[in-house]
Each structure stands twice: as C-alpha cells, then as structure tokens.
Amino acid sequence: MSGKTIWRRALDLDHRIIATGIFLIITYMILSPIEIPFPVSSYGQQYYDFVTEVPAGTTVGFMMGDTVATKPQLKPSTTITMWMLYEKNCKIVYWYDKVEAVGLMNEYIAVVDEMSSRELVYGVDYIDLGFIAGTETGAVAFLENIRGVTGGVDVNGDPIDSFPIMEGVNGGGDFAYGIANCGCECTEPMYIRQWGMPYGTELATINCAMDLPAITLYLATGQLRATANGLLGSAEFEYLTGRLGLAFGQILAVSFAGLYFVILVVLGNVFYFIDRSQGGN
Amino acid sequence: MSDEMYKSTIPFWIITILGALTIVEYFFPFIGNIVGGPLEMLRTYSTILAGAAYGIGTALLVANHGRRIVRRTMAPHWAFSIVFFVSIIVTVGVMLIGGQTGPQAQWVFDYILAPSGQCLYSTTAFFISTAGYRIFRFRNLDATVLLCSGLLILVSVLPLFTGPFPFFVPMAMWLNNVPVVAGYRAFVMGTSFGSIGLGLRIMLQKHPEALG
Amino acid sequence: MSLITSGRVVGLGVLAVICGAIYYYMYQAQQGNLANIRRLPQVDAIDELIARCVEMNRELWFIPGGGVMTNAFVLPGILSVFGILSYVTQRCAEFGAKIHCPTRNPIGYNIQYEIMREAYEAAGKPEEFDPLETIVYFPGGAMRPYIVQGAHSRKPAAAILLGAYYHQTIIFCEALQRCGAMTLGGTDTTHNIPFMVAANNYSLIGEEMYAMSAYLSKDPVLGSTLAGQDIGKYLAIAITILGVLLSAAGMPFADWLVI
C-alpha cells in the first residue's frame, strides 16, 4: 500500500505547528483572560494554615533555593510567605543552596519591602547568610554549625554576631519553623532528613508541582507539614491572602494549555489507532 | 609511591574510614563525642570542596573552548567559542568592578542570565506538547493506566477542570494518597537499599569504577 | 548517655541486617557459591542499541544525568552510571560504533574522561578516542539546546540516558525520538519516572540502574551483592505486614519503630 493515509499525515504534523498552537493559547489567555471558578486545593489550604500558625516574633529559617527557571511559579508564594511572616514581626534567616538564588534574593527582598507595612531592617528582621555549597553535605554542616560553615560572616562579609537576629541561633535546632524553597531539584526529602527530622523543626516547602508525588509520602506521615505546590500553590496562596497577582493570572493560561495538551494526547491516539486499523504501522 | 597507590588505594581507604566513622557516629553517641568534632570540621571543609566544583567546571569550559578555537574544529561553530570567552570576560569583569552583588552584576543577571534561563526552561512546554501528540500512546495495559492516571492528575490541578467538575479533585487525591504513595514508598525503599549496597561495595573496595 | 542514639535503634538493626546479608552473599560468591541473579533484559537492549549504531553508521549518545558529585542525593546514581559507561564505551569501541558523551557533571567529567579513555585502550583502539568530541562538558543550561540541536543535526541512531533527570527528561527524550533514535532511559530519582518510561523504548527504574552497574562489571561477586539487597526488601515486606496486623490490633507499632 503506497502513500500515507490522512491520519499518518496528521500524526507527522510538523512540531512547530503544535508548538505554535500552545504559544497562541497561552498568549491569548494572558492578554484576554476570562473568568473561571477557582477552587482551593487541600495543599494550598494546608500551606496557608501553616504560615498562619507560625507564632508572632519567631525566628524562621528560610532556605531560598529558587532559580531563574522556577521564579515565575515560585516567586509569588515565596514573597507572600515572607510578607506574611514580616507582618507578624517574625525574623527570617536566609541561606541558599543554589548559585542563582544570589541574584534573586535582592529582587525578592525589594518586592517584600514594597508590600510590607513597615521598613525591614537588615540584621534585625532578616539576614542573608549566602550560598552554601555541597547540597546535602553542605546542608548538614550548615545546620550543625552555622558560624563554622559561614566563617562567622554574612553574605556581605560582616560578622553575624553583630546582628541581633543571630543571637542564640547557630544551628537547625534553633529554628522552630522552617521553610525550604527547593526549586525543581527535588531536595525536599534531603531537608526533611537533615533538618526536619533530626532537629524537630516544623518544615514546609515551596516547590515545583513536579515534585509533589515524591513529597506526598512525607506529607502523609507528617514529616513535612505543608507544601506550596508550584504555580497552583502560588495562585491559591495569592487568592487566600487576597493579593491576586502574576500567579493567579498565569494559572488561567496554564489551564488552557493543559486542555490543549489533553486534546493533543487524545487526538494523537485516535489518529494512531485509526491509521493502524487501516494498515499503517 | 606507585600510581595505583595514590590513584586507587589511598582514596579508597579515605572513603572507607570516613564512611564508616560517619555511619558509626550517627548511631553511637559515645563515638560521636570522640570523632564528632573532627568529622564536623571535615563536613565544613567539604563545602569548600563543593564550591571548587564550580571552578573546575569553568576551567573545563575554558580549556574546551580554547582548544576548539585553536584547532578550528566543528567549523563554523568554533566562532561561538569566542562568544563564550567574551561573555566570561564581561561577567567576571563586572563582578570585579562592582562586586558580586553590585548593580552591574545584578544587571547582567536580570537582563541576560535570567531571561535566557527562563526561556530555556519554558521550552519544556513545547516539547511536552509534541511528546503528548507523538509519543504518549495507549499501547498496552501499562501505558493505558499510566496515561489515564497522568491525565487525571493533570486535570485535577487545573482550575479550568476542577471548577466545573469538582469530582476530579477527590479522585486525584485518592490516586495521590494511596497508589502513588504506596508505589513511591516501595521505590524509595528499593533505591535506598541499592544505595546501601553500592556504598558498601565502594567501602569494601569492590567497585573500582567509582574512581574512574 | 545511651549506647545507641534514641530513635535510631531499629534503623541500626535494619542496616546491620542488610549489610550482613550483602557481605554474606559476597563471601559465598568468593567461595564459589554464586547467587542466581536474573539477567536484566536491558543488558540485551544495550547490545541492540550498539548494533543499530554500527548498522546505520551513526552515533550512540550516552547522556549521564545531572547533579554534581558533591550532592549525596544523586551520588549513588552517578557512581552506578560510571560502571555502565565503562561497559558501553568498551563495547562501542569493540564493534566500531562511535560514542559521544555530553556530560553536565564538572567533577564527574574527569572520571568519565578516564573511564572512556581506558575503555578505548582496553578495546585496543586508543587512537579512536577524541578528547574533544568523545566526551564534552556542558553546564546545565547549555545542555538542553545542545541535545535538541545536536539530535536534529547529527541524528544519533541510539541514546542512553542514565542518572538523575529533572525537567530535561521529556525535552531530551522527545528530541531524540523525533530524530529517530532508539533510546534506553533510566533514573533513580522519583519525579520523572513516568516520562522516562513513556518516552523511551527501554527503561531502568530506580535500583535497576545500580543492579545494571553491578551486573555489567562481570564480577560475579558484585552481582551476588544484589541478592543481599533483596534481603532488605523481604525485611521491609515483613515489617509492613507485621505493622499492619499489630496496628489493626491496637498495638503502638509505629512507636516501637522509633525507640
């Protein structure tokens, strides 16, 4: 049998046409949004409840492992978490396990400074301890002895003992609550193993949706208290705090992109099986 | 000292001794009191070694691209190796001038590095849509179960579906909390046992490929 | 002060049982009593991929996963990939298939370089190892466009993707499949297994990668250690069943596990 069936020709559709389709859908939905109902999932509610539960004035450990690639989906939940904690006069000790977070830190602080009802003072409300190399080994060493690993200085080279926020803080056990923004590297189990479990810190994570199956185990056992799960988690957090922004806007475009993907999978399979039934390979 | 001694024997003994001490320290506090201090110091030093990895990466790139320019290999692509050198000189230059978190370095990060990284990451959407059309097939029972559960999870996280059809949410939650958790628990246990086996083989010096 | 740290007694016991079992099987293998290990079908897949490359006179791409060796989370996967790389490179050299290894691991690059060079020497073809082309280092972000463009222009006949893969899984697999490559994919990280399984012709899940590395080393003693790992799994099954029964009977079994 010579020649391709119409179904085979449809299956061999140039990938650029498929990619153009998703581009058009996302662009249109961003430029011309429509109203859709927005139910909040249990993960989003759980994360909101966790941040609300943190007592006022607590010193919180915040591992900022965000990257430029995950910034669009995780920045909203990160900055709103930071804002909520500052509004309760909590103090935040930052460090990061990814090199890119160095550049993002300043941007996030500036955003939260604008959102905050008061001026944030470095060394009193927050401190930046810089990049800790070595992923798991580095995290273990850092959480054992912060001053040992940082050399007793912050990211600017100033002695951390000169800042009031670091009084009595030298290890993972000195944080009753901790938040780990793990980006998309799936380092959540690592922080549960090396921070939450050994030191008893109540831990929540901000992570890509892709990591959810891997961390559902820990949510089920209570080893992880909550997760802000990707773009949906950011959108839900914006919705629950009344600070609708970029994540909420993006979720509509992503929803329609998801619909397009489902249609592609279904159509691809329909064409494939029809082509096969007509003698194609 | 022979080649094999410093390339193989000494490194393996370092691995074996430090590995055994780390495991024993984790379980026995009285040993932790004896060796805990030196081991903590070694863990701190390991962060320095880890930072050096980035330097190694940069050195490798410089050597590789330098060789490409000298040998004019893969013409005309060797010209892009010049772009690499220009980029690295400009980036290091702005950091030396204005500091690593200075306004110039921040500009390079905000307007060159960040958009490029986001652009590359966002291409995932295009590839996954093409993959969905061409590769994901209901070929057999396993693939059908995989695809159906994948599509269910997908629609359960999109408000476009969960708004008008809220029944997707409890279905997906059950899928996430029961079979997925069970499967991942088994998977994690299996890889953990595999890691223990691999670690033991290396510590007993039965896995020479670990050092190349 | 207690002898054993509180909360870690059961963990120590389980670790001791598993290590003991592995050592027992290793000892038995050294005495000539080899454990009966099922042959992994993916071993034949590797030979099939190499044969395809030889027939089509196109490259085989060996793409190790991401993560640096300083990350203990991905280190077992990286180390097991070294063993597989050695085998694949030697087979490629023996059969005349051209292998290309783009790697994202700056420390691992040096080890992989030595592994590949020695594999070519072991096959008696050291002159075929090209230090600039056989293995190339790319920082993480640069790997994506290289694989996509390279798959389009160089059209490898086969590809082996092993290691810790994140969101790049689907990009690499789709680009390689689109250029007609036959692929074997494997990962020990949890989050991209579905894409690995769906988008590759052959796949290795989780500890199959470690098992493959031990199996391909051709050392029967190493292969026997896989039997020791299975003892750990039987132990986990027994604890799970016991735990379900005792918890249903109202016993605080979960508390006993953290003594």
- A71 alpha-carbon distance from chain centroid: 8
Residues of B in contact with A42 (CB under 8 A): 173
- pLDDT class for A3, splitting at 50, 70, 90? low
Instruction: Confirm or reject contact between B133 and chain C (CB < 8 A).
Output: no
Task: Give partners of B (≥3 CB pairs < 8 A).
Answer: A, C
- Res B199: pLDDT: 86
A185 in C contact zone (CB under 8 Å): yes
pLDDT at C81 over 80: yes
Residue type, position A247, single letter: A
Does A147 lie in the same domain as A94?
Answer: yes
Task: Kindly give, in sequence order, each residue whose CB lies less than 8 Å from that of residue A49, ignoring residues fewer than 6 positions away.
Answer: A226
For the segment A261-278, the average pLDDT, to the nearest whole number, is 90
User: How many independent structural domains does chain A possess?
Assistant: 2
Q: Do A261 and A204 share a structural domain?
A: no
Assign residue A271 a region: left if phi > 0, alpha if psi is -120 to 50, beta otherwise? alpha
Mean pLDDT for A99-126 is: 90
Cβ neighbours of A231 (radius 10 Å): 23
Report yes or no on A1 lying in a domain: no
Q: Which pair of tokens denotes residue B107?
A: 């500009």
**Does B58 share its domain with B141?**
no
CB contact under 8 A, C217 and B73: no
Sign of torsion over alpha carbons C246, C250, C251, C257: positive
User: Same structural domain for residues B92 and B1?
Assistant: yes
Copy the structure tokens of residue B147.
Answer: 């695809």
Q: Identify the pLDDT of residue C1.
A: 67
Q: Which residue of C has its CA nearest to A184?
A: C166
Per DSSP bridges, beta strands C60-64 and C158-162 are parallel
Residue B210 lies in a domain: no
Answer yes or no: do C166 and A214 touch at CB < 8 A: no
A83-92, B48-57, C141-150, C185-194, range with greatest mean pLDDT: A83-92
Q: CB contact, 8 Å: A158 with chain C?
A: no
Chain-chain contact of C190 with A213 (C-beta, under 8 angstroms): yes
Lowest mean pLDDT among A95-99, B63-67, B142-146, C62-66: B142-146
- Domain membership of residue A92 (yes or no) is yes
> Are residues A83 and A136 located together in one domain of the fold?
yes
With beta carbons under 8 A apart, name residues in chain A contacting C166: 184-186, 210
> What is chain B's mean pLDDT, rounded?
85
Q: Is the confidence at residue A2, as pLDDT, over 70?
A: no
Q: Are A214 and C191 in contact, with CB atoms under 8 Å apart?
A: yes
Name which of A57-61, C58-62, C151-155 the model is least confident about.
C151-155
Residue A22 within a domain = yes
Tell me what ipTM this predicted complex has: 0.82
Residue pair A75/A191 in contact by the 8 Å Cβ criterion:
no
Whole-angstrom CA distances from A29 to A150, A249, A255, C229 are 46, 9, 9, 52
- CB contact under 8 Å between B173 and A140, yes or no, is no
* Percent of chain A surpassing pLDDT 70: 98
Yes or no: say if C196 and C166 are a contact pair by the CB < 8 Å rule: no
Contact A182, A69 (CB under 8 A): no
DSSP line for B50-96: HHHHHHHHHHHHHHHHHHHHHHT-STTTHHHHHHHHHHHHHHHHHHH
pLDDT for the residue numbered A281: 58
Q: Does any domain span residue A37? A: no
Shared domain check, B89 and B140: no
Which residue(s) pair with C63 in the sheet?
Answer: C161
Count other C-beta atoms under 10 Å from residue C161's C-beta. Answer: 27
Domains of chain C (ranges plus CATH)? 9-33+220-256 (no CATH), 41-216 (3.40.50.1220)
Q: Residue A195 belongs to a domain with what CATH number? A: 3.40.50
pLDDT over 50 (residue B143)? yes
Cβ pair C136:B64 closer than 8 A: yes
Domain range enclosing B167: 136-204
| Residue C203 and residue C186 in contact, taking contact as beta carbons nearer than 8 Å | yes
Q: Does B18 touch chain A (CB under 8 A)?
A: no
Candidates C46, C30, C8; CA nearest to C161 is C46
Distance CA C62, CA C184 (A): 10
- Domain-embedded: residue A258: yes
pTM of the model as a whole: 0.87
The owner of tokens 């098992």 is C211
Q: Please, which pLDDT band fits residue A1 given cuts at 50, 70 and 90?
A: very low
Residue type, A164: P
Domain enclosing residue A187, as ranges: 42-244
| B window 82-121, beta carbon within 8 A of A | 100-101, 105-106, 109-110, 113-114, 117-118, 120-121
Which residue in B188, B23, B11, B199 sits closest to C225, CA to CA? B199
Tell me the per-residue pLDDT of C87-126, one tens digit each, with 9 for 90 and over: 999 999 999 999 999 998 888 888 899 999 999 999 999 9
Does A187 lie in the same domain as A77?
Answer: yes
* C 165-224 residues inside an 8 A Cβ radius of B: 167, 170-171, 173-175, 177-178, 188, 190, 193-195, 197-199, 205-207, 209-211, 213-214, 217, 219, 221-222
Residues B78 and B167 in one domain: no
Same domain? For A20 and A140 the reply is: no
Give the pLDDT confidence score for residue B74 in this predicted structure.
Answer: 60
Does residue A227 sit in helix, strand or coil?
A: strand
Those residues whose C-beta lies under 8 Å from the C-beta of residue B203, and which sit 6 or more positions away, are B15, B16, B19, B20
The CA-atom distances, in angstroms, between C76 and each of B7, B212, C67, C85 are 20, 14, 11, 14
Same-domain status, B94 and B165? no
Higher pLDDT, C219 or A83: A83
Cα radius of gyration rounded to whole Å, chain A: 23
Task: Look at residue B152 and tell me if it is in a domain.
Answer: yes
How far apart (Å, rounded) are the C-alpha atoms in residues B117 and B111? 11
Longest dimension (CA), chain A: 82
Our CA dihedral for B25, B31, B37, B42, rounded to 10 degrees, sits at -40
Mean pLDDT of chain A: 91
Phi, psi of B10 (to 5 degrees): -65, -50
pLDDT digits (tens, 9 = 90+) for A40-76: 888 999 999 999 999 999 999 999 999 888 999 999 9
Q: What pLDDT shows up at residue A4? A: 76
In a domain, A67, yes or no: yes
Q: Is residue B118 part of a domain?
A: no
Final residue of a structural domain among B40, B71, B98: B98
Q: Which of C65, C22, C17 is nearest to C186 (CA)?
A: C65
Run of H or E residues at B162: helix B159-162
Closest residue on chain C to A67 (Cα):
C141
A20 touches A244 (CB < 8 A): no
Q: For the residues of C145-206, what is the DSSP string, one character each?
A: HHHHHHHHHH--SEEEEESB--THHHHHHHHHHHTT-EEEEEESSSTTHHHHHHHSSEEEET
- Residue B65: pLDDT over 80: yes
Residues A240 and A257 in one domain: no
How many folded domains does chain B comprise? Answer: 2
Q: In the structure encoding, which two tokens stand for residue A200, read together? A: 């008893």
Q: pLDDT tens, C176-228? A: 988 899 999 998 887 778 778 888 889 888 888 888 887 887 777 777 788 88
Confidence band, pLDDT 50/70/90 cuts, at residue C71: confident
> Is residue A234 a part of any domain in this protein?
yes
B92 and B144 inside one domain:
no
**Residues 71-110 (C) with a CB less than 8 A from some CB of A:** 71-73
Alpha-carbon distances, residue C14 vs B31, B184, B194, B210 (angstroms): 20, 20, 14, 25
- Statement: residue B48 has pLDDT above 60: yes
Q: Does any domain span residue A195?
A: yes
Together in a domain, A103 and A154: yes
Task: Test B189 with C3 for CB contact under 8 angstroms.
Answer: no
For residue A44, list chain B residues with Cβ-Cβ distance below 8 A: none
Whether residue A18 sits in one domain with residue A121: no
A211 pLDDT more than 80 = yes
Report the distance separating Cα C251 and Cα C176, nearest Å.
Answer: 54
Residue A192: partners with Cβ closer than 8 Å, 6 or more residues away? A203, A218, A223, A224
Residue C122 CA neighbour count, 13 Å, CB half: 13
A137 and A164 co-located in one domain? yes
How far is the alpha carbon of A56 from chain B, nearest alpha carbon, in Å? 31
DSSP β-bridge partners for residue B201: none
B127 in a domain, yes or no?
no
- In this structure, the answer to whether residues A119 and A203 fall within a common structural domain is yes
Cβ contact C166–A15 (<8 Å): no
Longest Cα separation, chain B: 74
Average pLDDT for chain C: 87
Distance from CA of C155 to the nearest CA of B (A): 16
A263 shares a domain with A137: no
Which of these three, B48, B75, B98, is where a domain ends? Answer: B98
- Packing angle of the helix pair A71-87, A42-53 (nearest 10 deg): 30
Farthest-apart Cα atoms in chain C, separation = 70
Cross-chain CB nearest to C188 (options B54, B57, B191): B191
Please indicate, yes or no, whether residues A138 and A265 belong to a single structural domain of this protein: no
| Contacting subunits of A (3+ beta carbon pairs below 8 A) | B, C
In angstroms, the Cα distances linking B102 to A53, A74, B95, B96, B207 are 37, 24, 7, 9, 47
- Closest residue to B155, CB basis, from A260, A262, A269: A262
